[in-house]
Amino acid sequence: MARKFFVGGNFKMNGTIESIKAIVNNLNEAKLDPNTEVVIAPPALYLLLVREHLKNGIQVAAQNVFDKPNGAFTGEISVSQLKDSGINWTILGHSERRTILKESDEVVASKTKVATEGGVSVIWCCGESLEERESGNTISVIEGQLAAVAGKIGDWKNVVIAYEPIWAIGTGKVATVQQAQEVHAAIRKWLKANVSETVAAETRILYGGSVNGKNCKELAREEDIDGFLVGGASLKPEFVDIINANQ
């Protein structure tokens, strides 16, 4: 089964009502590759605004969700609240939440379990620091992150994996095409050995880390790169070029 190309846009903590409406209008009017699945993740405050104005066919994601049902959890958003608002995706495990907010592999795995079981699809992020890469531990770090989530979920149909080397996020540094493909192939190999051949073959693995309009086409040609999770460039008109990178 061919894996459908996938491009996610993570706005992070950026945007205003005016600027986000402009991004949405640009996407609504652009000619986008119909064979690419597109999901954008604005800050939580703007989720409903985006869902209301964005054309059908493009999905909206939260940047995080909590792993408990509605209740006394100040500042959090539940899976059922996302569903109630027509938000069917969430990003989980982004390195900024792992490093700045100290979310452990176990916390990310728990959130992934609750989201997928509640009907919200997950862009699940993994990646290594510069120190881990330079010490030759890239694959073992990512395998540890994978093992934590694989221990919690049984159904991978609603999970997209995003490999984001931490040292390449927002730094302008990009993993070489060879480095990215190498890690993507290792993730697929791990899934085959530890989950199933079907999950390995069908799960989409995205690359994230300073993806832009100039480098996206070369990356998209690699066998195990099934799309992108885009940060800063998703706020710019070139996001359309990235969406169309696989044409």
> How long is the chain?
247
Q: CA–CA separation, 134 vs 139, rounded Å? A: 12
Look up residue 114 and give its amino acid: V
Half-sphere exposure of 220 (CA within 13 A, CB side): 22
3-state DSSP call for residue 119? coil
Asked if 79 contacts 115 with a C-beta cutoff of 8 angstroms, the reply is: yes
Q: Catalytic amino acids?
A: 94, 164
DSSP letter assigned to residue 2: P
Q: CA–CA separation, 162 vs 184, rounded Å? A: 9
Instruction: Map tokens 């099934």 to a residue.
Output: 226
